[in-house]
């Protein structure tokens, strides 16, 4: 991996206009890892709960996430920041909430990314042993994957999207093949509609089912993380988010239903517990031949790899956003001169993953029962908590920015409903955490991991308050997407000039006087910098590109 060099630089923004809607869909769906969810998550949900309402649970959770996406997408049209949840919480609920959310996001996304190394290493070790008779330790494959992910993370983000596109398309084709096999050759002679009935879902084991289905959607919300690198982020992020959650919800539901058909309702729980992922690969072998089943097994591994890369990119951009505003060390804002991506953030995430993987390898802990189960469960709680808080933040943001265009449905009703439903899901998730982890209900791990998320939130809020006391110039810029100033915070009542390149809706490529944020609800803008009609276009000497400037006034900060 290349080291930091003088050709790499700390800049206010990532490389612009690299990603379109399709790119973002690939990133978000790849993070969800459809084949891995089907072979691992769905089979485990059936085995643990015995509840055959998993298809309906996927549809129900998807509906809740669509409600969340309404407000999330509406806010994304006004806030383009690689910090995503961090910036949304800061803009809607205040700076302490934003930093608290950023710490939870770092814990949650790092946890799921590192958890997948345990899954990848274990599955690859078994696969190679079966195919070639060579049994290597799981951590050997995990470290090789880590090197590959770390290298790809340093490349241009659109190149990453192309890699994910190839892997995801083939992965989806395999799942479609499984669905066809299940519905055309049902085990008990007919396809039953029972998995789609509410009476089937609302029975014994519903809590565990909801816990597994919610965890399966982790990553769908990551499109906003790439908003600074997207073409026309006002619409791109929103469209990609809706496409991702709708596609994954329907796709998961259909595939979970196909599993009931291919296995048979009467044998489902017993076979799921005994065979696990074999419930997916056996029908493929029977319908299309053993070679296809072997290829599908390999593609499950590439599915995990795609998710590893997607979450790696998410963490790197969170670190970049926090480094840019000096909430974390400023070196994390270093981007690659050629790639325009978050170089330091990528290296930092790889280093953390390396330390954890080596730690688990040295301790001889089980890569599946410990690393994967514990860390993925930790991530699920963190992400659901973030989505709950962000739904409330959407309401707060539009109350502070009443002139921002959004319907009552998008600014109030949908996010309010989402907040209530997500809070209920969070309670169910914590209450059934032992099932998600595969531990005994009396195990202290089921309470220790949620406590880690809580401590991250408290620590983040405390750090924000310390910045307010000791570094007010940094505190003033939290969530704004601009580089933190090196000097003293500007007079809160003084005019400030905000500048950015013509046609861009994200943070500026260079800062003007002051650090005020025109989208903070505490500001009283003279003109909206996202409204192209309210800006003056001119050419900066020596820059050779059109620039925009907007003047606005900022009263005292509210938080």
- Residues 456, 382: contact at Cβ < 8 Å? yes
**Does residue 260 carry a pLDDT above 90?**
yes
Q: How confident is the model at residue 77 (pLDDT cuts 50, 70, 90)?
A: confident
Cα 342-504-327 angle, rounded to 5 deg: 40
Domain range summary for the chain, segments of one domain joined by +: 9-461, 495-553
Residue 61 above 80 pLDDT?
yes
What's the confidence (pLDDT) of residue 338? Answer: 72
The neighbouring-strand residues paired with 499 are 549
Does position 537 have pLDDT exceeding 70, yes or no?
no
In the block, which residue shows the tokens 């489902």? 268
**How many Å is the maximal CA-CA distance in the chain?**
76
pLDDT of residue 403: 85
pLDDT at 488 over 50: no
The region that residue 504 occupies, defined by phi over 0 for left and psi between -120 and 50 for alpha, beta otherwise, is beta
Please state whether the predicted TM-score (pTM) of the whole model is above 0.85. Answer: no
The residue whose two tokens read 């998410």 is 314
Considering the four listed CATH numbers 1.10.8.50, 3.90.1150.220, 1.10.3720.10, 1.20.1740.10, the one that applies to the domain covering 9-461 is 1.20.1740.10
Q: What is the mean pLDDT of residues 101-120?
A: 94
Above 80 in pLDDT, residue 210? yes
pLDDT tens-digit map of 439-469: 888 889 999 999 999 999 999 999 999 999 9
The answer to whether residues 74 and 241 touch, using CB atoms and an 8 Å cutoff, is no
Comparison of pLDDT for 212 and 99, the residue scoring more: 99
Neighbours of 399 (CB within 10 A): 12
pLDDT greater than 50 at residue 548: no
pLDDT band of 531, cuts 50, 70, 90: very low
Res. 498: pLDDT tops 60: no
The 10s digit of each residue's pLDDT in 23-50 is 788 778 887 888 989 988 899 889 888 8
Tell me the CA distances in angstroms from 70 to 229, 525, 531, one per residue in order: 21, 26, 22
pLDDT in tens, 376-428: 889 999 999 999 999 999 999 999 988 888 899 999 999 999 999 999 999 99
How would residue 486 be classed by pLDDT, with cut points 50, 70 and 90?
low
Residue-wise pLDDT for 269-309, tens only, equals 999 988 888 888 888 988 899 888 888 988 899 889 988 98
pLDDT at residue 17, rounded to an integer: 55
Q: Which residue has the higher pLDDT, 231 or 131?
A: 131
For range 497-518, the mean pLDDT: 38
95 token code pair: 């700076």
pLDDT confidence of residue 532: 34
Residue 281, both tokens:
């690969």
Residue 16: per-residue pLDDT: 55
Q: Which residues pair with 495 in a beta bridge?
A: 553
Please give the Cα distance from 318 to 321 (Å, whole number): 5
Per mean pLDDT, which range of 68-82, 197-211, 352-366 is the poorest?
A: 68-82
How far apart (Å, rounded) are the C-alpha atoms in residues 254 and 260? Answer: 10
| Confidence (pLDDT) at 263 | 93
CA-CA distance, 129 to 117, in Å (whole number)? 18
pLDDT at 448: 94
Q: Which of 368, 327, 308 lies closest to 32 in space, CA to CA? A: 308
Burial annotation 266-295 (CB, 10 A radius, 16+ → b, else e) = eebbebbeeeebbbbbbbbbebbeeebbbb
What is the per-residue pLDDT across 340-377, written as a single tens digit (0 to 9) for each? 778 899 999 999 999 999 999 999 998 988 898 899 88
Q: Which of 188-192, 218-222, 553-557 has the largest mean confidence?
A: 188-192
Q: Which residue has the higher pLDDT, 514 or 161?
A: 161
**E-only strand ranges, 286-408:** 334-335
Question: DSSP 3-state helix, strand, coil percentages of the chain (rounded to 5)?
Answer: 70, 5, 30
User: What is the predicted pLDDT for the residue at 158?
Assistant: 66
pLDDT at 192 over 70: yes
pLDDT > 90 in the chain, percent: 44
What integer pLDDT is reported at residue 18 of this predicted model?
A: 65
4 pLDDT above the threshold of 70: no
More confident residue, 188 or 80: 188
Per-residue HEC secondary structure of 94-134 comes to: CHHHHHHHHHHHHHHHHHHHHHHHHHHHHHHHHHHHHHHCC
Question: pLDDT band at 435, cuts 50/70/90?
Answer: confident
């Amino acid at each position: 991996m290349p080291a930091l060099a003088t050709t790499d630089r700390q800049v206010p923004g990532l490389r612009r206009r690299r990603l379109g809607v399709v790119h973002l869909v690939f990133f978000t769906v790849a993070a969800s890892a459809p084949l891995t969810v089907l072979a691992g998550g769905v089979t485990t949900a059936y085995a643990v709960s015995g509840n055959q309402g998993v298809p309906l649970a996927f549809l129900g959770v998807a509906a809740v996430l669509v409600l969340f996406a309404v407000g999330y997408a509406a806010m994304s049209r006004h806030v383009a920041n690689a910090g995503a949840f961090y910036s949304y919480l800061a803009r809607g609920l205040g700076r302490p909430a934003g930093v608290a959310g950023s710490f939870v996001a770092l814990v949650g996304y790092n946890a799921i990314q590192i958890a997948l190394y345990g899954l990848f290493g274990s599955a690859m070790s078994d696969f190679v042993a079966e195919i070639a008779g060579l049994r290597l330790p799981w951590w050997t494959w995990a470290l090789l994957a880590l090197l590959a992910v770390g290298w790809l993370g340093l490349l241009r983000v659109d190149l990453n999207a192309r890699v994910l596109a190839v892997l995801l398309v083939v992965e989806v084709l395999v799942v479609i093949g499984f669905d066809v096999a299940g519905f055309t050759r049902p085990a008990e002679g007919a396809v039953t509609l029972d998995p789609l009935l509410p009476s089937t879902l609302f029975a014994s084991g519903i809590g565990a089912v909801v816990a597994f289905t919610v965890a399966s959607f982790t990553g769908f919300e990551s499109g906003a993380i790439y908003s600074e690198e997207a073409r026309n982020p006002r619409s791109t992020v929103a469209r990609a988010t809706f496409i991702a959650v709708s596609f994954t919800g329907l796709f998961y539901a259909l595939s979970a239903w196909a599993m009931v058909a291919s296995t048979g309702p009467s044998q489902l729980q017993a076979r799921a517990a005994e065979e696990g992922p074999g419930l997916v690969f056996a029908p493929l072998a029977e319908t299309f031949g053993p070679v296809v089943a072997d290829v599908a097994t390999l593609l499950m591994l590439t599915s995990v790899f795609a998710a590893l890369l997607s979450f790696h990119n998410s963490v790197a951009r969170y670190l970049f956003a926090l480094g840019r505003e000096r909430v974390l060390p400023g070196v994390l804002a270093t981007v690659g001169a050629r790639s325009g991506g978050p170089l330091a953030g990528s290296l930092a995430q790889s280093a953390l993953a390396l330390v954890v993987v080596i730690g688990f390898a040295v301790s001889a802990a089980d890569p599946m029962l410990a690393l994967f189960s514990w860390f993925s469960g930790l991530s699920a709680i963190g992400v659901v908590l973030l989505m709950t808080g962000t739904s409330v933040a959407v309401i707060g943001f539009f109350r502070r920015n009443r002139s921002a265009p959004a319907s009552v449905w998008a600014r109030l009703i949908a996010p309010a409903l989402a907040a209530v439903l997500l809070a209920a899901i969070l309670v169910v998730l914590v209450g059934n955490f032992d099932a998600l982890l595969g531990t005994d209900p009396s195990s202290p791990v089921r309470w220790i991991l949620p406590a880690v998320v809580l401590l991250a939130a408290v620590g983040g809020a405390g750090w924000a308050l310390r910045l307010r006391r000791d570094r007010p110039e940094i505190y003033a810029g939290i969530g704004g997407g601009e580089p933190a100033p090196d000097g003293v915070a500007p007079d809160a009542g003084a005019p400030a000039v905000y500048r950015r390149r013509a046609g861009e809706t994200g943070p500026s490529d260079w800062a003007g006087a002051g650090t005020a944020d025109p989208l903070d609800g505490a500001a009283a803008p003279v003109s909206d910098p996202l409204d192209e009609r309210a800006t003056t276009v001119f050419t900066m000497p020596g820059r050779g590109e059109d620039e925009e400037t907007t003047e606005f006034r900022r009263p005292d900060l509210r938080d």
